Structure 1
Amino acid sequence: DPYAVQQSSKLSPNPASNNETTTREEALRKKEAELAERERELDERQRQAVRPGANNFPPCFPIMYLNIPVEIPIQHQPVVWWLYREWLLFEITLVLNFIACLCVLVSHPESITSAPTSMGVAVTELFTHTAASFFLWYRPVYNAYMKDTSLYYYFFFVFNGFHILYTFYMAIGIPSTGGAGLILLVTLFSDHFITSAIFTLLATICWIVMGFMALFLYKKTYDHYKAAGHTFQEAKQE
């Protein structure tokens, strides 16, 4: 019957069309599964990055968690990175300062009688100031930008202010202070102790550069503090 054949052709599905639809559905399901797996991986990475106790600093002996890209708001990350570089430069300067004082002690210029005292002070500063600078001003300013609280800003302003004064004081190079600075530099070049003078020159440059760098970042942080509307009363309440 022609009519029955026509009706049968209308009701029968097209095998090619069915295969194409099935292939598309499988591709979509596969893509959805891949996206879901990717989301799970990202969530797991994020969870591991911020989970408490995931200590990563310092790298040689992790005792705390620091992660500027994760913990610091993106608009403040450049400043916090520069503050971290300031702290690293301070550590480098302390090492150069120690080496310069050691060279002076070994070369033993007759005109410099304070070399043993300066060496002892330089060794003490190398170990004590490394920890003190981190916990007294870098960690507080890190927390200040992370939590946006007045109290941490005040800790930074007080102790980083002393740090800036100390930096320029060391750049002068007063005898018996452990500072490889300008006074010691002039004496060494005058007496032709070139090796000691070169290390002292490097330390002096680092002291001066770091001092002005610290001043710039101090002002930048203070400007942000005022713009955010923080006050001393707010810090006292915290």
Structure 2
Amino acid sequence: MTERTNNFPPLPKFLKVKPCFYQNIEEEIPTQHQRLVRRIFTLWIMYSVTLCLNVIGCIAWWAAGAHGSNFGYSLLWLIIFSPASYVCWFRTIYKAIRADSSFNFMAFFFIFFLQLVLAIIQCIGINNWGICGWIATMTFFRYNVAAATVMLLTTLLLTLVTVLMALVLIKVHRLYRGIGGSVTRAQEEWGAGTWKSAPAKGAPSIVDQTAQGHSLPEYPAAVPNYLDNRSW
């Protein structure tokens, strides 16, 4: 097997910092699930872009007379939650579908549910939290319409991302229930340590067998007799 070179995040070659992960959806993810994984990856990009726009919205918020702590917190949201969301829930579902791992599926459900709750709180927009949510945006329209309009763009995009997160959670849960996943199987993987490694390329998995309707081949119990028994 050829050694795989990490390719994500894509960084310029002149930097001493190298990519941390190997990501190849076409090679590692079963064909029937590649579309879902690409959509989840796009969702992560949308969430990261939303956090970037939130920084701009908080700058406008600050420039129009709001507290400067909102800008500082918005930078903190971007620096921490953009890479953390990739590592904690996108890589988790990526490994779950790649390796047909019930443990990683369960980890994804737990982490992604917390992410969804956090996104809902961000949509609410509590003041001085560094997020341009609905409460903060609608309240600030009374003071500065231009700044509140910039904040509203971030709020609308964050609301869209939150809705898409809920749909992804439902979609992945249906997929997991369809392949017969369970907490017991996840505990068995944890005890055996099989959740750490992916199956060999080309090996059938429960996800593939369920989607394609295939089962493992059956071999005859008796060994056939060959006509030519001469030594070779």
Query: For this structure pair, what is the TM-score category when the shorter chain's length is used for normalisation?
Result: 0.7 to 0.9
Aligned partner of 1:119 among 71, 88, 94: 71
Q: Quick check: which one's helix share is greater?
A: 1
Q: Paired residue for 2:113? A: 161
Q: Paired residue for 2:28? A: 71
Distance 1:236 1:202 in 2: 44
Please tell me whether Structure 1 or Structure 2 has the larger radius of gyration of its CA atoms: 1
Aligned partner of 1:174 among 123, 126, 129: 126
Q: Paired residue for 2:193? A: none
The TM-score, its normalising length taken from structure 2, stands at 0.76
Q: Paired residue for 2:64? A: 107
1:106: Cα distance to partner?
Answer: 1.8
2:149 counterpart of 1:198 = yes
Distance 2:69 2:188 in 1: 44
2:53 counterpart of 1:82 = no
Distance 1:119 1:188 in 2: 15
1:197: Cα distance to partner?
Answer: 1.5
Aligned residues: 183
2:10 counterpart of 1:59 = yes
| Letter matched to residue 164 of structure 1 | L
RMSD: 1.3
2:103 counterpart of 1:146 = no
The TM-score, its normalising length taken from structure 1, stands at 0.74
2:168 counterpart of 1:217 = yes
Structure 1 runs (4+) deviating above 3 angstroms are none
* Structure 1: tracts of 5 or more residues without a match: 1-46
SS in 2 for 1:190: coil
- Native 8 Å contact 2:92 2:104 kept in 1: yes
Distance 1:162 1:155 in 2: 11
* Structure 2: tracts of 5 or more residues without a match: 12-17, 190-232
Distance 1:80 1:235 in 2: 21
| Letter matched to residue 170 of structure 1 | Q
SS in 2 for 1:63: coil
Distance 2:99 2:38 in 1: 16
- Native 8 Å contact 1:107 1:193 kept in 2: no
- Native 8 Å contact 2:64 2:144 kept in 1: no
Distance 2:9 2:138 in 1: 37
- Native 8 Å contact 1:53 1:64 kept in 2: no
Moved more, 172-181 or 54-63: 54-63
Distance 2:3 2:137 in 1: 48
1:190: Cα distance to partner?
Answer: 1.7
Q: Paired residue for 1:32? A: none
**Deviation string, structure 1 residues 205-228 (Cα, Å, up to 9, x no partner):** 111101110111111100010110
Aligned-residue sequence identity (percent) comes to 28
